[in-house]
Structure 1
Amino acid sequence: MSSAQSDDLAAVMTAAAATLRAPIDLDKTLEQLLASAIDTVPGIDQASLSITTRDGKIETLAPTDERVVRADQLQYELQEGPCLEAALAEPVVESGDLSIDPRWPQYGPKAAALGFGAQIAFQFRAEPHARGALNLYADEKHSLDADTRALGALFAGLVAVAMGWARQDDSMAQALISRNVIGQAVGIVMERYTVDPDRAFAFLVRTSQDSNTKLRAVAESIVADLVSRTRS
């Protein structure tokens, strides 16, 4: 890693650490951490979190792309894949070529069809009860290296800190509600503008950035507008 790259990394990590100052907004903090991860970790294009809940389910939080939501859900449904194994058992799970990985004969080809070539997941644990995985996706095969592993583990640690600070159950509940309302808004945008899920999600992100408004607030506004139109 060059001196310039080290300086850039230091700046990114300083900004990421700043999001962890209490009190934190869990939704916003996780979104910022994962956005920083895909900007910083070599070879990585998208990211998400798989969170295990007390009732044994696994939920996705803070996805950076609609493809990630679909890839995560495939792993939960098929009961195979890096994010599932990392969230439930293994500290780090990596695949350099998902399309031919014999460990996941069902998930791998489906992930490749979504445009993902490689994937790595890092388990994290946060007191008192949060556990899950940081999922990092790469579009290109064989794009993961030692820097990917080292920096990915660092971001997994930051996520654990954020989850640990958000100890109250209502923080997790609000994060899950946020994920659900964003999914509803994606569906509305898809139908309204006749676009696919990726473009609909990108529309929400762009609107959030242009208006300096949280992604959840943008989604809530779109859903509320539809409800209002339906009632009128």
Structure 2
Amino acid sequence: MSQPTNHDLAMRMAEMSRNLVPKPSLDTILDEVTAAAVDLIPGVDTAGILLLERGGKFRSIATTSELPHQLDILQVTFQEGPCVQAALADTVVRTDDFRLETRWPQYSPAVVEIGVLSGLSFKLYTAERTAGALNLFGFEPRTWDSNAETVGSILAAHAAAAIIATQTQSQLNAALLSRDRIGQAKGIIMERFKVDSVRAFNMMRQLSQESNVKLTDIAQRVIDSDA
């Protein structure tokens, strides 16, 4: 495969950007990213994303084949490997030949046995948050050059922005829903007990503290009781 030119990369990124209108799903964006990595970076035969979730858990998504998911399982099992290292520590982790790789004594031999001999992993992050890693694998040894790292870093930045924007929107939606529930419940209490807004909110907050139940759950109970 020939080296991608700056024009090739610019055209692919423009295509991916156009997909933002109308706004595609997160899965669609990430599928585009991993497919682009295979298309644009010589030596990459398969790709996937290891998503970092709450509680230190990982999840495989946007894989171009079943293989990246199998490799992610190995890394989680052994608690070592380039994808985990990129997600949690280093920005870029490269392996030119897993047969010579000594950083992961359990993972590397297992990968070689499967038939993967090289890899590049990129942390998915913004200035404040880490989302996971973009992971690229080759079936042959490969001396990854600066062009491969540059293209991979651009694609990783695109994926990270999409993931974190989606997570932020979900959190915002949850916050707005909570606010609406509390407001609705407060209105019910005001009407039922003939109290003002401040007193109604304090009543819910006191119930929340005494019962060790989230304020939004108390609010939902009030709403349900009025149904």
**TM above 0.5, one fold?**
yes
Q: Which has the higher contact order (CA 8 A, sep 6+)?
A: 1
Q: Judge conservation of contact 1:46–1:137 (CA < 8 Å) in 2.
A: yes
Equivalent AA in structure 2 for residue 19 of structure 1: N
Is 1:13 matched with 2:5? no
Instruction: Show the counterpart of 2:101.
Output: 101
> Distance in 2 between the 1:60 and 1:4 partners?
27
Identity across matched positions, percent:
33
Q: How do 1:141-156 residues align onto structure 2 when only pairs under 5 Å count?
A: 141-156=141-156
Q: Judge conservation of contact 1:16–1:36 (CA < 8 Å) in 2.
A: no
Distance 1:115 1:74, change over 3 A: same
Equivalent AA in structure 1 for residue 71 of structure 2: A
| Structure 1 SS opposite 2:149 | helix
Instruction: Show the counterpart of 2:26.
Output: 26
Q: How do 1:97-136 residues align onto structure 2 when only pairs under 5 Å count?
A: 97-126=97-126, 131-136=131-136
**How far 1:77 sits from its partner (Å)?**
0.8
Q: Judge conservation of contact 1:128–1:164 (CA < 8 Å) in 2.
A: no
> Distance in 2 between the 1:80 and 1:28 partners?
29
Which runs of at least 4 in structure 1 moved beyond 6 Å after TM superposition? none
Equivalent AA in structure 2 for residue 36 of structure 1: A
> Structure 2: which 5+ residue stretches go unaligned?
172-227
Distance 1:146 1:25, change over 3 A: same
**How far 1:55 sits from its partner (Å)?**
1.8
Distance 1:10 1:162, change over 3 A: same
| Structure 1 SS opposite 2:112 | helix
Q: Judge conservation of contact 2:131–2:164 (CA < 8 Å) in 1.
A: no
Q: Judge conservation of contact 1:48–1:61 (CA < 8 Å) in 2.
A: yes
CA RMSD of aligned residues (A): 2.4
> Distance in 2 between the 1:76 and 1:155 partners?
24
**How far 1:168 sits from its partner (Å)?**
5.3
Distance 1:137 1:50, change over 3 A: same
- Matched residue pairs, number? 170
Q: How do 1:183-202 residues align onto structure 2 when only pairs under 5 Å count?
A: none
**How far 1:23 sits from its partner (Å)?**
2.9
| Structure 1 SS opposite 2:54 | coil
Q: Judge conservation of contact 1:20–1:162 (CA < 8 Å) in 2.
A: no
| Structure 2 SS opposite 1:152 | helix
Q: Judge conservation of contact 2:3–2:42 (CA < 8 Å) in 1.
A: no
> Distance in 1 between the 2:114 and 2:160 partners?
28
**How far 1:100 sits from its partner (Å)?**
2.1
> Structure 1: which 5+ residue stretches go unaligned?
172-232
**How far 1:16 sits from its partner (Å)?**
2.0
Q: Which has the larger radius of gyration?
A: 2
